[in-house]
Amino acid sequence: MDVLSLLCFSPPGADGRCRSPWRGSGASLRCLGVQRLGAASGNSILNGAVRAGELFAPAPLPKSCLLVLHGNATRLQPAPGANTCPYHPAWNSKVFLIYNTGAQGCLETKDSLVRLAKGCNASAPAQQWKWVSRNRLFNVGSMQCLGVSWHGANATAGLHPLATYECDRESVNMRWSCRGLGEQLSQHLGARPGNSSLDRGDQARGSQWRTYGTEEDLCSVPYSEIYTIQGNSHGKPCTIPFKYDNQWFHECTSTGREDGHLWCATTQDYGKDERWGFCPIKSNDCETFWDKDHLTNSCYQFNFQSTLSWREAWNSCEQQGANLLSITEIHEQTYINGLLTGYSSTLWIGLNDLDINGGWQWSDNSPLKYLNWESDQPDNPSEENCGVIRTESSGGWQNRDCGIALPYVCKKKPNATADPFLTDSWSEVKVDCEPSWQPFQSNCYRLVGEKKSWQEAKKTCLRSGGDLVSIHTLSELEFVTKQIKQDVEELWIGLNDLKLQMNFEWSDGTPVRFTYWHPFEPNNFRDSLEDCVTIWGPEGRWNDSPCNQTLPSICKKPGRVSQEKEEDDHGCRKGWKWHSPSCFWLGEDRVPYSDARKMCSDYGSTLVTITNRFEQAYVSSLIYSWDGEYFWTALQDINETGAFRWLSGDEVMYTHWNRDQPGYNKGGCVALATGSSMGLWEVKNCSTFKAKYICRQNLGTPVNPELPGPYPTPSLTAACPPGWSSDSKLRHCYKVFSFEKLQEKKTWIVAQEFCRELGAQLLSLGSYEEEHFVANTLNKIFGESEPDLHEQHWFWIGLNRRDPAGDRSWRWSDGLGFFYRNFDRSNYDDDDIRTCAVLDLASLQWMPMQCEAQLDWICKLPKGTQQRHPQTLHKEWVKYQEAEYKFFEHHSTWVQAQRICSWFQAELASVHGEAELRFLGQNLKKFSRGQEQHWWIGLHTYENDGRFKWSDGSLLNFVSWAPGKPRPINKDKKCVYMTASRGEGQDPHGYICQRSIGRGGTKGTAPACWGPATTPRSWGEAWGAGGAWGDRLDSGRGGPWSQPFVGQPQTCARQPGSVCPVGMGILTGGGGSGVSLLIISGDMASVPSQGHPGLWGGWMRG
């Protein structure tokens, strides 16, 4: 973080006192106020870390300003009558000073040489450093990068001078790991002969290097990519520093532009490459680069020329104070469609399914109440978790792999204010309700246990003067889940899309402000008219279901405001606030941590614990108006081990960290932030930092765990399944999955799904002891070799920050609180898109990684749990000729089926003859339970390519299309299934895996060479021409085609000038087995030949 603060001074009032929020300073009274850079109000006084951002000075107008940069102050005079302090270059750049604790001085440059100064001066450019692109360290004074030259004018025998160099200098090592920078600085500074007192290298060795004015190490002010807009670089990030007109720039600049817009180069030398783009700017207007809908005051930015991944696009929007596009109503969809007119593109929007425990959501937290999915979307939910809008379907939505590069749309709403309906949702109003109804806030609620259809349930509620329940806030959801729903598995609520498909409304007519969908929901499963919504499971997640399903329901109606005098709040002391099962008190004095503990103890209470998301939301509402303050909690790294515990000793089951928290230093106490980081957790120094505090007193009821808890507490003495390992002190079992072949490794999400198939989860780590056991297990498997022998051998663990609603904080996928951390201290330019974590075998530390990487993984299973044996793991293989087959009955997409087959070193089945087709048909009839049972096979086309191919690469020399198949299709990817019936249906169900057991490799392998005939001919002419080569077309007689063709040689001798196969002629196959091949979606061109369905694919040069 930027350790910047701005102090403003003002004389006291006529009464000799300072007006709030100013405080007195010194014997000759001056009024002192600390300005939180980036805070819109000026009420942050004296305490708290201050972040870089827009500058606002507290009222009254400042008389003088002091910039405090890492402990050193610079006085700055504001302009007359100005309400902001003047600009300083350090305010908007991640500049820091490098401080050595032994020498008590800062690193500086002089004549390009690097040395330790006797002191530190934050205003001296020679001491100002910043991390820039490619892990380089830039010095503001010299405008050069820190490096070590192995050759050069300054080198002496055996020495490698540490100096600053032009940032494009060759033969100089300029890449630094922030983790190892301090050690290398000590080594190089101490290696010089004849050290002057100014160099002081000896003092530097063995001491610590810190970011000046903090206890943080040199990794605490990292570089972040800056994504460009417009220009000619397709959205690529800035290269910092860059050279323009023989001058180096370490920030975006307006130099060279008359319009004053900030820009940067995306390569190091603009003069050489001329690649550039505009820099993102946070502003409260929509004047530049934005289209504004004056009806809704929303602004939109279409980046058609950019190509970024979903995460990169999201970062680009956030850097402009915006977010990826959300569409919440039909009017907005219509407006967007109008702006897309005339373009042909697929663009990222904010729709995502990245919360592994939740459903589809908007990245800006808008309610997901309107959907515009294309037909058969969303599909492949395990691997395609991000949404796009497509011009080809008039603004329809699809889900895609988040890692592919696409254009994107940003959206912002300037000067938007928080909805008071949401921010005040925890305040209670005392109301009277009829018997059997329960009050909450201003309404009454009742559970109707009789199972009815949605329409009948609604009528029941209407007859009682209410309607099916509408849920508008997290607090209301908590009440409904804990007090009304309780143990009932599934109930009707009032949300529905009966009026307009996929446009959800509350049946009582109230607006939809809040949604809480279950994973993979809403999905209108199989187009089965799932028009009504249920609340389901212990968390109260929502699911769209058929309205004729019979279920219990919840009714809601307005209550009567009570005329009784309000007594004490549930037995809480006066001034305390009640939230079941506890009373809460806000201490308004700023005190060190130990004093806050004592003050709560004096009240017979403790510092606040927060055990679930509902309590977090409630506590955040208590501190909502205290902008710029911090509040102590009971969470502390008591033993300075890196593991946080509640003061009560209870395990941490829920966490809500701010970005880059809990940091890397050992020790510390946790406080809640306010302002733009409302309610997020940050680690502070327990002794020196002062904060307000929150006390909590439980009224005879123990604090409930997160609802629901991730798992019941496993037994220490229970056994592990065969193949899993554990320790007598641990409650879980562990298994490592490691493969040599890349195709057997998995992305993070697929590895997570694999573990869940076993009844397990990706590895979570909650203590040093658990991590020590896992490390020993890895050493037993791979040996305790030198670290370089295990370089880049990484294992997926469950830690991730995929969910954009998670404030970029790390979370365990199994729900365990993130209270123990062991990240390495490397810095990455692309850190913002590394949203999953790995365990590094070489260092046994964690590293952030892009979730799309294909890696090994580790699963974790509670002791006493039987490993599941899903159909993907236990079915027998059936042998036939030189191959064996496995039939899987569970529902899967084609891509998922292909991946599961690869786990067994197999492929989706390919069919190469009538006898093989009959064998498969006989087995399908055994497994199929009805006429609509379908089975994926390996035949498919590629996107934007009409050619059919087998996924195992074997020759397409036989087909058995169902009557009328395939029909003309577009160029979207198509996949083929088999069926033992003639019905088409809409439910591709199982799949067939196949692997070779013979010596001849994959059966049906194509001959080694093909020869193209490029002269257009009719089919008959082509047949004759093929005979001249001694070749043949696959079948047939003449037709009216006039196309190039590909012949099939009889031998494997490569013909001169021949190419790889690029297309097929007409393929035929018998249908006597009664088994048909069908395309699951879309159609394909067919040309009949000899009475058989035909197949033709597109053409391209091999």
Q: Which of 870, 1002, 875 is nearest to 938 (CA)?
A: 1002
Cα separation values, 414 from 227, 283, 293, 538, Å: 21, 8, 12, 38
pLDDT digits (tens, 9 = 90+) for 748-761: 988 998 898 888 99
Band (380; pLDDT cuts 50, 70, 90): confident
pLDDT digits (tens, 9 = 90+) for 429-448: 778 899 999 998 889 999 99
Domains and CATH numbers, the chain: 4-76 (no CATH), 98-211 (2.80.10), 224-279 (2.10.10.10), 291-412 (3.10.100.10), 420-557 (3.10.100.10), 588-698 (3.10.100.10), 732-862 (3.10.100.10), 880-892+912-1006+1068-1083 (3.10.100.10), 1011-1060 (no CATH)
pTM: 0.67
In the prediction, which pLDDT does 379 show? Answer: 79
pLDDT digits (tens, 9 = 90+) for 676-718: 889 999 999 898 899 999 999 987 544 443 334 444 567 778 8
Average pLDDT, the chain: 76
CB 399 within 8 A of CB 353: yes
Is residue 79 helix, strand or coil?
coil
Q: Count the Cβ atoms, other than its own, within 10 Å of residue 757.
A: 17
DSSP H/E element including 276: strand 276-278
| 119-123, 307-311, 381-385, 515-519, range with the lowest pLDDT | 381-385
In the prediction, which pLDDT does 730 show? Answer: 92
Take residue 354 and report the two structure tokens written for it.
């990245």
Q: Which of 675, 579, 685 is nearest to 632 (CA)?
A: 685
Interval 254-280 mean pLDDT: 94
| Residue-level length of the chain | 1102
β-strand partners of 556: 445, 467
CB 760 within 8 A of CB 885: no
| 231-245, 416-430, 711-725, range with the lowest pLDDT | 416-430
Q: How far apart are CA 579 and CA 591, in angstroms?
A: 25
Is residue 406 helix, strand or coil?
strand
CB 364 within 8 A of CB 324: yes
Take residue 1056 and report the two structure tokens written for it.
């001169």
Classify residue 714 as exposed, middle or buried by CB count within 10 Å of its CB (0-12, 13-18, 19+): middle
Q: Is the pLDDT confidence value at 572 over 70?
A: yes
In the prediction, which pLDDT does 50 show? Answer: 34
Q: Is the pLDDT confidence value at 547 over 90?
A: yes
Q: Which of 325, 339, 349 is nearest to 394 (CA)?
A: 339
Q: Is the pLDDT confidence value at 113 over 60?
A: yes
pLDDT digits (tens, 9 = 90+) for 309-356: 999 999 999 999 999 999 999 999 999 999 999 899 999 999 999 988
In the prediction, which pLDDT does 1092 show? Answer: 32
pLDDT digits (tens, 9 = 90+) for 210-239: 999 887 888 888 888 999 999 999 999 999
Which residue shows structure tokens 């082509």? 1022
Percent of the chain with pLDDT over 90: 36
In the prediction, which pLDDT does 606 show? Answer: 93
Q: How far apart are CA 495 and CA 512, in angstroms?
A: 9
Band (150; pLDDT cuts 50, 70, 90): low
In the prediction, which pLDDT does 717 show? Answer: 82
Q: Is the pLDDT confidence value at 836 over 80?
A: yes
